Structure formats: structure tokens, C-alpha cells
Structure 1
Amino acid sequence: MRTEPADAAASTGVAIDAPAVRFDAPAVRFDAPDAARLAELLGGPTSTLVRVRHAIHARRLAGAESFTELLSLARLVGVERHGYQIETVHRVLRTLRGRALLSDEVGLGKTIEALMVLLEYQVRGMAKRVLVLAPPALVPQWVGELQTKAGIAARTIDREGDGVWRGDGVVVASLATARMQRTAPVVQAEPWDLVIVDEAHRVKRRGSSSWKLIDGLRSRFLLLLTATPIETELLELYQLVTLLRPGQFATPAAFRRRFVDPNNPTSPKNREALRELLGEVMVRNTRASCGLKLPPRFVSTVVVDPADDERALYAAALEALRAATEPRVRRHAGLLVLEAGSSPAAVRGTLDKLDDPAFAKVAAAAGVEDTRKGRALLDIVRLGGEAQVLVFTRYRATARWLADLLAREGLAYRAVHGDMTNVDKQAALTAFRAGDAQILVSTDVGSEGHNLQHCHRLVNFDLPWNPMVIEQRIGRLHRFGQTSEVEVFNLCARGSMEERILGVLHDRVRLFELVVGEMDMVLGNLTDEADLEQRLLALCANAPTDGDVDAGLAALGDELLRARGRYDEVRELDQALFGQEFEA
């Protein structure tokens, strides 16, 4: 055997002149995640030393010692990589061995940290079967994040039915579905490489079906994500940590004796000892510890008096919804009501596809071309001088209509929507960032995954009835890296459902004052987990008069106020228990 020159050795390691080396020693057994790869590399009765070298390299690649370099970073798309997130992922992989409680403050990116851990294990062949459990409202968000940021096509029960639990891939499901009596045994019988539980404070009660589900899962790696690991008492922290590392805090009685002050449950005893034990399983970043601060944002509601023909179109769509009895017709009528709150162009686009006599009155009223909201948008743009403006709409037809309006007015704009190729979309976004266009018209899908914090003025031309979508829009600008005060203008027509909804969300509950991520926490405290938009559409359909709609909205406002109150209480407790001395 001879040694190659340095440059050749760098690529192959050694050159083999001797016959292949035969291994007569007993077979070496490797852990399951690498067995298939190593069998391929070492297949047959003989192996060259080059094969052995590659086998050893593959084994090391899968080992914890190789986590000094994060291979997942190259796979992430459209994600800002903050130093504290990279440090967190390193710690989860190397120190906590893939079982961790991620308790960053809201808005700091626990989801991104979990995605990075997932990708890191996937790249190394250590996570072929992954289960993500989240509240029902967050399941679509997880599916979208996996696709746009990690290039992972998630598997869901909606697409695959009960067979989704078997086989390789990333399964995203609601905790409510997974814990069902008929489902839980199936989920627990399957071997999972990695399980991620979002909003993990929902599994804090040891006797609950949710806690029992997680406790019974067969999983090598487990991530629990929650900004509020404690909501009412310190023992909730014990229950969460026990899922990750049974025995970390001994027994519940021992935990109480050592750490719980019976006279002041929000002030634990033996803080240093508690901190040390938590450091073996928990990571918590705060804005203060990360040196991150957002500029203020100001949200304004711009109520426009619609013209008679605009009002007639909205009334016709609402009448069709209330008159619908068949589920299919009601579903289409609900869409028309939402589109009527956006633009006549959006309504016409749907009517062309439906060709349904049930919507004859809507079709007769849908010929409106000019709208008062369109004029209001132009006023907002001009009042801002040369400042750039991001205009959001839910519908492609509205985006095209807005593009025509801006072109007629001689304003420099670009548009992005879901039908565009990635190349065309990127070109439009690049032009907007470079200042070649004052206005960017975007659908919710069009600019997904793109951060636009160089701009500080946003117009919601239409308003999704789910406040989380509005928050996600605002988050494209009001995020770390933004240096200016952010102005948000919500456009709505007087007398519309959108005006009523904003009256509840903005004026009464003041949801838009919350920092990024906190709205998730408030909405998660609602007693009814159904999608808020569907609840509001059902209210419109079933309420015979506008007065009944107002009464239903008032009840929803009461529920939201209670949910916000619960969140405020939890946040105060969280601050009392996890001040800076508990930052990890």
C-alpha cells in the first residue's frame, strides 16, 4: 500500500494497490438509523479501505460529535438566522440529546428552531419518521412552514386518512385528533424518530388524555414548544419535564417539598437548584437576553362609505348566504360574502366558475367597476409621499384589479401572487426592495416566506376574518430588522362584516397592540377551537338580522376578552417565575 500525494488524498483519503482486505471478524452491529447505509457501504464478503473510510465517515456524520456544523442551514429557505437560534439548536442537539423544552418568549421563533432540529436529524438520516402535533388552528400553518421554509411536503390526515400514521415522512396532525380513543393506540404503536409538540402547555395535566398520549409515544427525540410552561402552578413544569426526562425532578411530592413555597406559589424555593435542573432539559431565550427590540406599530381602521352599487352587491351576497340550505351552496355563498368585502372583481371571478342560478341576484349586482376603497387606497399612498407601501389582498382577481388601478394612475408598482413562477415572483420582490416600485400588491400566498422589513407602511385592502392571517401580514414588516415605526391601515366598507369584526378585534379587545406571536397565545385560549372565520360565517348565515349578528359578535368579543385576560395572567406568572435569572 502506498500513500497518495496530498491533493489526491484530500479527496479519496488513500489509494489501494493491495488486494481488497477481507474481514473475518464478527459483524459489527450499528444503531438502526445508520444500518441500511452502512450495509450498503460494507456489502459483500470484502471491502476496500476506501469503503471502510466512507463507512466510518457516515457513522460520524450521524453522531453527536458532528453537530459542531449545522448542515440544516443550507436547506432553510427565506429564514433569518439569528445567533440565539443557532446556539439553541446546537444545545438541543449536543447537550440535551434531542429531548428539550423550548420556551423562548413569544415571537422569537421556536418554530424555526424546531424546524432546524428536524432538518438536522433528517440530513443525517436520524429522523425518517417525524410527528408534529399542534392545535387544530396551527396545523395548516405548520404544513405551510414545512413546505416553504424546509421544502418538506407534510403528510396530513385530511389527505391520507388513517393510513397517515404509518410509513416514513413528516406527519402533521392536531393533538385533538391524535388523542382520540380510537386514534391514540395507533399513534402510540408506531415508532417515531422525532416528535414535536407545539403549544405544549396544553399537555401539562398528568391525568389528561393529551399528557397520556405524549407519555406513551415511542420516540427517540422529543421537542415540547411553549412560551408559557407554567400557567397556574409550578407543578405544571414538573409534568412537562417528566415527559422529556422521567425522574429529573424525582416524585411530585419531592418536587413540592424542594421547590414549591406553599405560601407563595409564584416564587419557587431553591431557585439555583431549580435553574440547574431546568438547564438540563429547557432552553429559554428572551428579547432582553437576545438584545432584540421592535419599533412600535400603529394600526388604523379606515372606514369607507360605499357607493349604492357597492352596497347592493354586498347585500346580495349576504342574502344568498342566509338563504342557502344546501352545504355546497352555503359554502359558495360564504366565499362570495368574503369576496364582496374585497372587490367586485373577486366576486365576478367566482361567479364565472359557479354558473349557479342561486346567485342570480349577486351576478346582477356584480358589474361594479370603480370602488370607494380603491380611491381610499390611492389617498393613503399619496399622503405618504414617496414612502413604499405593501398592499395585501386575499384574492388574485383583486390583485389584478388593483394592478390595473395603479397603472391607470401612473404609479410604479409590482405584484406577486401564487400563480407566478418563483423567478417572476423573485424579480418583482427584488424590484420592490431596490426601490424600482413604490407599491407592492401581494396576495397572502404570493409573498409567503419573504421578509419585507425595509418597508414600513402596510394596507390591508381586504380583511380575512381570522385575525391570525392579519397578524401574519403585519409580521412581514413588523419583525426583527425593522428600524422604522410601522403603519398599518385596515380598509373596510361602512356597514360591512369587516367593519364589525374590526370593532371587536381592534377597538374592544385591542388585539393588534400585542407583540408578534402573542395573538396566537390569546386565540389559543378560546374555548371553541373551531376556525374563527368559519364561526363568523356561520354567524352570518344563521343570524336573520344585522342586530342578531351584532349580538353574536358581542358574545365573541366577551370570549376574546376572557381569553386575553387569561393570557395576561399567564404572562405575569411567567415573568414572576422566569425572570432574567432563569434565562438559559
Structure 2
Amino acid sequence: MQAGAVGLGGITPGTRLSGLVGRENVEVISVHAVGESASEVIFRDGTGAIDSRVLSADDLDHIMIADADGQQTKYDADPREFMLAAEALRIKNAALYDPMAAVSSSNIEPLPHQIRAVYEHMLPQVPLRFLLADDPGAGKTIMAGLYLKEMMLRSDCERALIVSPGGLADQWHEELQTKFGLSFDVLTMSMVESARGNVFDDHPYLIVRMDQVSRNEQLIDQLREVSWDVAIVDEAHRMSAHYTSWNGEVKTTKRFTLGRVLSQRAQHFLLMTATPHAGKEEDFQLFLTLLDRDRFEGPYRSERHRTDTRGLMRRMVKEDLLTFEGKPLFPERRAYTVGYDLSDAEQELYNRVSEYVRTEMGRADRIGEQGQSRRRNSVGFALTVLQRRLASSPEAITRSLERRVERLRQRLNEIDRVGTRAIGGTSPGADEQFFDPYDHAYATMADLDDFDDADGDMSEAERARFEERMEQVVDSATAALTKEELAREIGVLEELVALSKSVWNASDDRKWNELRQILSEQLLTDPDGVPRKIIVFTEHRDTINYLQRRIAAHIGKSEAVEVIHGGTSRAARLAIREQFTHNPSVRVLLATDAAGEGLNLQRAHLMVNYDLPWNPNRIEQRFGRIHRIGQSEVCHLWNLVAKGTREGDVFLTLLSKIDQMDQAYMGKLFHVLGGGTIFDNKPLRELLVEAIRYGDLPEVRERLGSVIDESVSHGLQALIDERALVRDMSTESNVEAIRELMERARVRRLQPGYIEAFTRSALWRLGVRLEAREPGRFEIHRVPPRVMRAARILNPAAPLPKRYERVTFVPTGASDPKLEISLIALGHPLLDALIAVTLEDLSHILERGTVLVDRRGLVNEPTLLGIVEETITDGLRHVVSRHFDYVLSGTTETVSEIPPYLDCDAPRSDEVENARACEVPDQHGRLELIRSAAYEKGVRVRMKEIHAQRDHEIERTRTQVKDRLNAEAQLWYDRAAMSHDEELAGRTPRTSSASAQRHAREMEERLERRIGELDAAAKLTAKSPRLCARALIVPEALVGGQSALFARDTAEVDQRAVAAVMKAEQMLGRSPREMPHSNPGFDISTTDAEGKQMFIEVKGRIEGASTFTVTANEVAFARTQQEHHVLALVSVSPRGPAHDQLRYVYDPFAHIDPAVTTLSYNERWDKYWQRGTQPA
């Protein structure tokens, strides 16, 4: 650009100045006199921001007028460099162009309900406060990953935290990396100990285990000091809490406190759970205060409050989830109860061990009454586990009894050694409590619900230590108070060991016989001859060892059985899963609940519960391992239950009742046991313990049956009510609308074609080539040092290697166990660094401008192209929308979201002089027209759409907040009046009138503050459109190219060709739609009866033509759309349309390496014609 000296009088609206703000150029908006010798200059900088300066004559030495010689901008930049820089800009801001950029750049195939959750419910909410509560197996991790990647691509997420149960942390890490290319660290104690300050400052993308943080006060304090753009909590129902009084006092848990901290420190907060409601509305609304305290303040009171979670919560149930074809996503599932009779010997063993358990539980109750409650809990725990192992297998009960005898003998020997008769604790030198692996303290485990819950929060090493400690308690906790009592207990146990061994050695295991029959009947081949596979769940490792031997002997192959349990490392679990999934020789997988957590095992559709868990949620969770997305077979589950046992009778009653209900609803209600409400008043575990202890009493058996009947009916009704509520909240999946949304977004995909074209060109500019290897894969021998430095600046935690063995641009091509393959997609550090280097070198080209030639009839006069960025914010300064628009300014202004430059060409050597001679009158005025058009046809339209999305939700929130906080304020004012009366009467109220008054005023102040925030959120403001780049597009006819007559003939040929393809598509039963003339990338969009969309690029030539031209954009678009694209060749006959011939060429440009800097290709017509086939 030219520049010249400036005087105050020469600064007028529209003038472009350099030197006013650093080296960048700014545009003057208005000038106002300040006194006699100064002026206030209001200007727009390069980012579109408005600013001002007061200037006097003394300030003008270093300020110049751009283009001061009066000439128009030269538009003399290299067209290829302009195209490369423009594509760098477009890819850098991909999310502003591709509305589903995260989908196209990830290795996933999202489903309708997942698309709707992310793109209709979550992303439009700014800031996000949301509970994603879809049923198990719906793919909530996929939705969270999509949301995270989309936020990162939109530059809205520079710090993200994921909180998960400990057992799922590594799975989160793996899935985010392999499916989305997102690199997160998993927090370890070594990271905490080596941190120089706050460990959370050092890791912008982090996964933490829920209890690892919640039980560590130091980490909680550090968490309070940092902010996060996005925080996500998996299995968030674990953050529940309870009200303890009418006045809102809360019995918090450490997990709930963690949730409160995250809610305060995260801009966007997402909770995920399949069981959000445990049956108590009060607790559910307290849980929702993690998302919005004002909306759910105070204990729920039905007469004052209402429940409305619309806009805050999305729940989709399995029955309503569909594929894009409109078919049910989850197959049918069937459960069978297999009741069996014990042998006489088994029945005797059961009776004798149960009697021992009942006796010792009674003694434990007595020592609890004497103040030893912790010891009572430990003994109760040990005896309950013993009873469960009795029902599991002969080996499990025998080994447990043997270990218990050995431990208690050690205790007796210790007593003899120290010479005392009193007994305490669980083992010599040990406290009777459980070991807490996180804070190295001890924590009482009063029941097994806590153990089941805590187990999922442990790492492998922590779980191993916990299980070791648990076994120590189970084997040695005793209610004996004296040496004599302990000796008698050992004597009883020795008799039970002898009896147990005789049962084991008798080899008449009725439970195993039932499993063997199931294996014999079901382990056949499917109709395709593929061997069926089955999963067997048990509770105990001794039983796993027992079954492994027996099943291997039954099948005749030891390699047919794989085993995973709590001690199996995650790496080993994944290897076993791969074997089970892909190796036809592996037929049976034996697993415990701890091992099954986080593993998706839909390769099998058969499952056996060899042991039934005492937590009913576990039954549903187990079934969910096979009944999940990707399962195509009907799922079958067999539950083995012993008749004539007290806990067995409880299970038989429960499962029979559920089976009756299931038949009544034709198997359409999944998740009855896992819904969280079936035993909300009294846990199933308590019913089972009561049955074991008092099941001989007829009145107890009758009451237990009544409780189960009522509980199942209540749980089912709650499930039905919830389904009705879900549908009332309009969360059903409109598959057709979502498919249309996906197809509209498909047109603007950048992956893989455009990403490959840019990467190839950007590397070539730096002297590096992509070397082709296997189909769709390349090698990069050298990463330029500049690119490596740029990557370190962008993300020090993700340095680039010096070379890449293999890269690919196709998400499905990134998996090969023999090669290290990097998927170069949006967000990849190499791509980000190439963009940064390209824009560092060439960004001035975008402002300088270039001349492009239109050879496709896009314009018919010299036309300015402006690339404009538009930003909309709300009154809280949240960015709610950012977009790019491409504005053409000729006789009129047109706005497009698709870059017009993509199908333009560089002037040939004989066209350069004429191209640069083309001018656009009143260039400054045209640039203003471009900004105005961007605002009127872009910004205003989007503001109207955003208002439609946000206003209703803001108003609903406003109403609910006002209702809730006004009700709470009134409650406290009423309490203040009552307390005042009590104080006047000389009594001391529970809450003083002054305290109640303070609470009431606090509610009113919170209401005023929140209403102000909602008012601000409703006010949308558009920033001034920012002109990021400009180019001059001239029609080919004006630069010495084709004549008007040739152009007319070409247009007639093109029309004939398109008409021929339209007719062929209609004859095939498809629904074609012709695009506007010169549509970038394709000419016809067509849809078949199943909804599959195809894009057809039509090339028509007069019969006998030897070549045709393909633009770089057409190549990149075809490579991006892959199987959704076809090239239609039409040989246009001089004898008329009846003689025109048509061929379809699929994957037409596989042999062309796409590049931004190669703007067009001349291809031989006959070679493509020979590859073509008749339309079909």
C-alpha cells in the first residue's frame, strides 16, 4: 500500500490511517473538533473494535494516510498466496463455517439424539448449565466429547476439567484421544507433589477422579483458586446431598462440596448421569442447585414450589432412541429367572452357615449396644459377605471359611502370647475400620452400598489395596469378647469348613449344573456360522477361579475362557476385550462388577448373572454392558437363584413381580431395576439381611413379600411417570429434522478434502512434501523448525515430533495396530501450527487484496469480495455468536456463507494486465456497502434467530427464580414473625427473628441480582463487522478470455447436461434438486428413499470434446464428501437431447492430490468416460 503525510484537515470519515495504533491500519468513522487545535478521531481497528484518540498537530509526525496518492488499492497480491491465506483463515475459524466441525473431524458416527443434545440443547446455551440424563448406553461420553471439541474449535475452551469415577478416568482419556483427538492429562498424586504451585494451573486440559479431589482438602482449596471454561462431571448423581431441617440446612458430602466449587469456578458446567432422581423430589432439587441455586433454593415444598427442568435437563430413554433410519436403536431384551433346588448336602451347608451368620450378627448387635458401633459394623460387614459367598459357589464359601479360621487362630495365638483374655479390633495391630486409599485415613463402611459405590472411584492400585484390606476385615472381624468365645467360634467354623469341603468334593453343584445347561444350549453358532459368545458375571474371585476351570473343561479348550476382575489392569482388560470381541476361539468372559465397569461388550448378546448383586442398580448396569449402542441382536439374561434359601426367595419374589410387570407392558420399559426409585424407602440389601436373620417367621416373610410388591409397583409407576414427563418436555428425537440438519451441515464440511489441500500446500510452501504411502496415508519426513516453534507457543504441552511416520486426513483411516498414524484434523497441533505460520507470513496479503478470474459465470462485472467476521454478545459480555460471511459487491450486494473464491482462478499470464486494469468505482463506498450488507443480511438475521432461541428460556428462568426466591423470602418473613411472638412471650425460638429477617433480605437481594443478570443476558449487541480480507473478482470475458458467444454456448451445454442428470435421477426414484448456477462444489443435490444424500458435479461437453476443466474446489469437495459424491459426465449431441449420453464416475478424483495453490486441472475426457457407468 501507498502512504502519505497527513494534516488534521485531511482526516475525514472513511480515511484509512497507519501509525495511529501500532503498525496496523485503522479506518476513521468520525472526526469532532476539540477546542481550536485538536480533533477527536473515532476509528475502527483491525479487530472491528471501536476506539478513539484526541490528536493535535504535534501528534501527526508518525501518522500516515494509507493510499494517500489517491489511487485505489492495487489488488496485486499473488492469487495463490491469497487463496492459501484465506483457507488458513477459514480453517482456523472452522466452527464459524462448518456448523458441525467437531463431527466431521472426529472418528465417530453420531446418532440423532447425540446430535440434538449437543447442537440444539447444549451449544446454544451461553453459559451452559445442563444436566444430561439419558439412559445408560446412550453415549453420553460421545456427547460430552463432541461438545468439548466444538467449544475448542470455536475458541471458547482453553481450560477444561472432567471429573469422573476413578475407574473411568483412563477410559475418558482414551476415548477423548482416539475418537476426538483431544489430549487430556489424568491427575496423579505425583503430579500434585511435583507441582511448583497450584497443580491445576499447570494442566489446562485435565481429568480427575472424583474422590481423589473431593477427599483432599488441599486440592479442593487449589480448585477454588482457578477458573475453567468447561467442567464436566460423569456419574454426577454421586454428588447428592440431603436437607436436614425445614430451614434449608444441608447435610453435605465431600462430593457435593466438590460440585459446588466446580459450579462456582466453571463458565460452562455439564452434569451427566443416567439416574438423576433417586425417588425424593427434595433431594433431586437440592442436586439441581449445583446448576442453578436461585431456581431451586430451599427444601422442596409442593404447596409452594413447582418442578420445571426444561432448558436445564435433557433425558432420553432407551425406548425412544432411534437410528437415522427411524428404527429402534436398542434391540429387544429378555430376562429369565432360573430357579433351582439345592441338593440335600448343599441345603444342610446353607442352613448351618446361615445359622452361624445369624448368631454372630446377634452378638454384633449386643456389642454395638455397648458402644462399640464401629466394631459392630465391621462384624456385620464380614458376615454379610460370608453369606453372599455361601450363595456363590462351593469354592467361594470353602476358601472364605478357611481364611477366616486361619485369621482367628492367629488372633487366638496372639492372645495367648500377650496373656490377655479381652479381644478387640479385626486383627492384631489393626483398627477395625476400612482403609481409605485417598487420604490414608480410615473410614467406616456401615453397609455394602458404600463399598459398591466407592469401588468405582478407585484406580487399579487403590482398588487392590482396598480389596486386600476388605478381605482382612471379612476374614477376621469377630464379635467374640473373650478368649473362650473366640475359641468356640473357631470350633464352629472348623465344623463348617469340613462340611463345606465335603459339598465341594461331592461334585453335585446344582448351580453349576444350571449354568452348564445354559452353555450347552446357547453356545452354538449363529445363522452365519459364527460362534456365539456369553458373559458370566459373579461377585467373587474364588468363584471366578472355580468357574474358569469348570467351563474350560466343559468346552474342552482353556483358551475359550477369558477372565477380568478387580485386580486386572486396565491395559490387560482392554486386551481381553479385544480378544473377546475379535477372536472366535474366545467364547466365554468371566467378570466381576469392578472389572465390567467402563467396558462395552456388545460383541456378545448373552449374559448370565451367576451371582445376583444386592444392589439392584448393578443388575441393570451389567445388562447395559451388552444392551447398548451397536448391539444388533436380541439380548438374553439368565438370573440364577437358589430356591429354599432366604435371600433366594426374596430374589424370586422380586424378579417374578418385575417379569409380570414387563409382560404387562410388552417389554417396552427398560431400566426398571436401575431407575433409582424401586427401593427408595428401604434398600434391597436391608430386605435381604432381614430375610437372612428373621426369615423363619411367617409374619416377616409375608411383610417382605408385601414390601417387594409395593416397591416394584412404586418403582414402575415412577418410571412410567418419568417417561411421560420426558415426553411432555419435548425431548423426543425428530429423526427427519436432525437428518436434514446433518445434510445441510455436510455441504460445509472441511474434512478431509479441504484439510488435506491446505496441509499439502502449506507444507509445500515451506519446502516439505506429503509422501504418499498406503491409500489415504502419507509420510512427512521433516517438520519445519518454524512449525515446531509455533506449535510450542500455541501449546507447550503438545510439542510436534520431527517427522511423522504416517498421517491421514480420513478419520476412519487412523487405526492400524502396526503403525503410528496421526489423524490431521481440526484441532491437531500440526494443523494449528501450519495455520499460525501461514497467517504470520501472509496475513498482509488478505488486506492487500488480489485479483481473481471467474470462469464459471459467478459475476458479470468487476466485483469486490469481502470476507467479514461478525460477533454478537449479550449484556454479560458473553460471545453468543461468531460467523464469517462472504459478501460480493457489484451492482448489488449478495451474502453467502460459502467462499466464492473457491471456484475462481488466477489470471493467466496473458490476462494479468487486463485483470489489473479492471476497477471498481468508489472503492471506499463499496467496502462500507460490504459491511452494511454483512450487518443487514447476516448479523440482523442471526440476532433474530438467537432472540428466538434465548428469550423464551430466559423468561422461563426469570419466572421460576422469582417464584422460588419470593416464596423463600416469604417463608423467612413468616418465620421471623413467629419467632418474634415467641421472643415476646419469653421463649427462645429455634431461629431468632433477627436471623430470619436476615435470611429473608438475603433472598430478596439474590433475586434483585439475578433478575439484573437475566435482563443483561437478554440484551444482544452486535460488534461492528470486521473486514478480514478483500479481493477483486472479474469475469473471464473482461480479461481477454472467452467471448460472450462462447459463454452463451457453454451455458446452453451446461443446461442440457444438468437437465439430463435431473431426468436420470428422477427415473431412478430419487429426489434431485438443482443448485443455483455456479454453485461451489456441486450442481445437483439428490436424496434416495432412505434419506441418503448425494452431491453430483455435472460436466457437459459437446460430443467429441477431448478435455474438461476441474477446479481445485471441485476436487477438494469430492474428496471431502467421499461416497456421497459422484461426477456426472454428459456428452451433448448436436442431434438433440434425445441423443445425449450420460455416465457416472464414482470417486473420480482419487488420483489427484488436492492443493490450495493449484486452482484448476485440465483432465482428459476419454479417460473419465471409460471409468464411468450407467446411472444406478
On whether the aligned pair clears a TM of 0.5, the verdict is: yes
Residue 196 of structure 1 corresponds to: 271
Q: Quickly say closer, same or farther: Cα 1:568–1:307, change in 2 above 3 A.
A: same
SS for the counterpart of 1:454 is coil
Residue 652 of structure 2 corresponds to: 503
Residue 489 of structure 1 corresponds to: 638
Q: Quickly say closer, same or farther: Cα 1:454–1:108, change in 2 above 3 A.
A: closer
Residue 549 of structure 2 corresponds to: 404
Looking at structure 2, the residues matched to 103 and 438 of structure 1 have their Cα atoms a distance apart, in angstroms, of: 36
1:403 Cα deviation from its structure 2 partner: 1.1
One-letter amino acid of the structure 2 residue matched with residue 310 of structure 1: E
Please say if 1:381 is aligned against 2:519. yes
Looking at structure 2, the residues matched to 457 and 188 of structure 1 have their Cα atoms a distance apart, in angstroms, of: 42
Residue 339 of structure 1 corresponds to: 389
Residue 313 of structure 1 corresponds to: 349
SS for the counterpart of 2:591 is strand
Residue 140 of structure 2 corresponds to: 111
Please say if 1:148 is aligned against 2:150. no
Instruction: Indicate if the aligned counterparts of 1:522 and 1:567 stay in contact, CA closer than 8 A.
Output: yes
TM-score, length basis structure 1: 0.65
Instruction: Indicate if the aligned counterparts of 1:306 and 1:494 stay in contact, CA closer than 8 A.
Output: yes
Residue 1011 of structure 2 corresponds to: none
1:401 Cα deviation from its structure 2 partner: 0.6
Q: Quickly say closer, same or farther: Cα 1:213–1:84, change in 2 above 3 A.
A: closer
Looking at structure 1, the residues matched to 520 and 398 of structure 2 have their Cα atoms a distance apart, in angstroms, of: 29
Instruction: Indicate if the aligned counterparts of 2:536 and 2:588 stay in contact, CA closer than 8 A.
Output: yes
Q: Quickly say closer, same or farther: Cα 1:449–1:157, change in 2 above 3 A.
A: closer
Candidates 125, 138, 153, aligned match of 1:96: 125
Instruction: Indicate if the aligned counterparts of 1:187 and 1:217 stay in contact, CA closer than 8 A.
Output: no
SS for the counterpart of 1:167 is helix
Alpha-carbon displacement from aligned partner over 1:207-240 (angstroms, at most 9, x marks no partner): 964555542389xxxxxxxxxxxxx99x957x42
Looking at structure 1, the residues matched to 637 and 158 of structure 2 have their Cα atoms a distance apart, in angstroms, of: 44
SS for the counterpart of 1:391 is strand
Q: Quickly say closer, same or farther: Cα 1:318–1:117, change in 2 above 3 A.
A: farther
Residue 321 of structure 2 corresponds to: 287
The number of residues matched between the two structures is 469
Q: Which moved more, 1:495-504 or 1:349-358?
A: 349-358
Alpha-carbon displacement from aligned partner over 1:171-220 (angstroms, at most 9, x marks no partner): 754321598536489965652342416455689889964555542389xx
Looking at structure 2, the residues matched to 65 and 236 of structure 1 have their Cα atoms a distance apart, in angstroms, of: 41
SS for the counterpart of 1:482 is coil
Aligned ranges for residues 127-526 of structure 1 at < 5 Å?
127-128=159-160, 144-150=167-173, 152-156=207-211, 160=215, 165-168=220-223, 173-176=238-241, 181=250, 183=252, 188=260, 190-193=264-267, 194-196=269-271, 198=273, 199=275, 209-212=286-289, 214-216=291-293, 239-241=308-310, 244=312, 286-288=320-322, 290=324, 291-293=326-328, 294-322=330-358, 323-324=360-361, 325=364, 326-354=376-404, 355-356=407-408, 358=489, 360=493, 362-367=496-501, 368-369=503-504, 370=507, 371-384=509-522, 386-387=524-525, 388=532, 389-412=534-557, 413-418=560-565, 419-422=567-570, 424-433=572-581, 434-510=583-659, 518-519=671-672, 522-524=675-677, 526=679
One-letter amino acid of the structure 1 residue matched with residue 542 of structure 2: A
Instruction: Indicate if the aligned counterparts of 1:453 and 1:482 stay in contact, CA closer than 8 A.
Output: yes
Alpha-carbon displacement from aligned partner over 1:96-148 (angstroms, at most 9, x marks no partner): 3462656776456263356436754699864555678xxxxxxxxx5544553
Q: Quickly say closer, same or farther: Cα 1:429–1:308, change in 2 above 3 A.
A: same
Residue 714 of structure 2 corresponds to: 562
One-letter amino acid of the structure 2 residue matched with residue 332 of structure 1: A
Looking at structure 2, the residues matched to 385 and 130 of structure 1 have their Cα atoms a distance apart, in angstroms, of: 41
Alpha-carbon displacement from aligned partner over 1:387-434 (angstroms, at most 9, x marks no partner): 433222122211111111123334342222123344544444444333
Residue 690 of structure 2 corresponds to: 539
Instruction: Indicate if the aligned counterparts of 1:175 and 1:210 stay in contact, CA closer than 8 A.
Output: yes
Answer 1 or 2: which has greater strand percent.
2
SS for the counterpart of 2:599 is coil
Looking at structure 2, the residues matched to 443 and 519 of structure 1 have their Cα atoms a distance apart, in angstroms, of: 22
1:476 Cα deviation from its structure 2 partner: 2.4
Q: Quickly say closer, same or farther: Cα 1:118–1:515, change in 2 above 3 A.
A: farther
Instruction: Indicate if the aligned counterparts of 2:538 and 2:592 stay in contact, CA closer than 8 A.
Output: yes
Q: Which moved more, 1:513-522 or 1:536-545?
A: 513-522
Instruction: Indicate if the aligned counterparts of 1:122 and 1:128 stay in contact, CA closer than 8 A.
Output: no
Q: Quickly say closer, same or farther: Cα 1:147–1:544, change in 2 above 3 A.
A: same
Alpha-carbon displacement from aligned partner over 1:55-77 (angstroms, at most 9, x marks no partner): x99xx799988985449997x9x
Residue 269 of structure 1 corresponds to: none
1:499 Cα deviation from its structure 2 partner: 2.8
Q: Quickly say closer, same or farther: Cα 1:425–1:544, change in 2 above 3 A.
A: closer
Alpha-carbon displacement from aligned partner over 1:330-389 (angstroms, at most 9, x marks no partner): 111100111111112222343454423547154343323231111221112112352433
Residue 810 of structure 2 corresponds to: none
SS for the counterpart of 1:563 is helix
Looking at structure 1, the residues matched to 696 and 586 of structure 2 have their Cα atoms a distance apart, in angstroms, of: 45
Alpha-carbon displacement from aligned partner over 1:289-344 (angstroms, at most 9, x marks no partner): 75342332222222222123322332233223323212211111100111111112
Q: Flag structure 1 segments of 5+ consecutive residues without an equivalent.
A: 1-21, 25-52, 133-141, 219-231, 245-280
Looking at structure 2, the residues matched to 146 and 508 of structure 1 have their Cα atoms a distance apart, in angstroms, of: 37
Instruction: Indicate if the aligned counterparts of 1:539 and 1:549 stay in contact, CA closer than 8 A.
Output: no
One-letter amino acid of the structure 2 residue matched with residue 216 of structure 1: R
One-letter amino acid of the structure 1 residue matched with residue 517 of structure 2: D
1:23 Cα deviation from its structure 2 partner: 10
Q: Quickly say closer, same or farther: Cα 1:208–1:471, change in 2 above 3 A.
A: closer
TM-score, length basis structure 2: 0.35
Instruction: Indicate if the aligned counterparts of 1:155 and 1:164 stay in contact, CA closer than 8 A.
Output: no
Looking at structure 2, the residues matched to 114 and 315 of structure 1 have their Cα atoms a distance apart, in angstroms, of: 51
Looking at structure 2, the residues matched to 191 and 72 of structure 1 have their Cα atoms a distance apart, in angstroms, of: 31
1:520 Cα deviation from its structure 2 partner: 6.0
Q: CA RMSD in A?
A: 4.8
Instruction: Indicate if the aligned counterparts of 1:345 and 1:398 stay in contact, CA closer than 8 A.
Output: yes
Instruction: Indicate if the aligned counterparts of 1:108 and 1:287 stay in contact, CA closer than 8 A.
Output: no
1:157 Cα deviation from its structure 2 partner: 8.3
Instruction: Indicate if the aligned counterparts of 1:92 and 1:100 stay in contact, CA closer than 8 A.
Output: no
Q: Quickly say closer, same or farther: Cα 1:582–1:520, change in 2 above 3 A.
A: farther
1:573 Cα deviation from its structure 2 partner: 4.9
Paired-residue identity, %? 20
Q: Flag structure 2 segments of 5+ consecutive residues without an equivalent.
A: 1-21, 25-84, 175-206, 224-230, 296-301, 365-375, 409-485, 526-531, 739-1176
One-letter amino acid of the structure 2 residue matched with residue 539 of structure 1: E
Q: Quickly say closer, same or farther: Cα 1:68–1:349, change in 2 above 3 A.
A: farther
Instruction: Indicate if the aligned counterparts of 1:392 and 1:443 stay in contact, CA closer than 8 A.
Output: yes
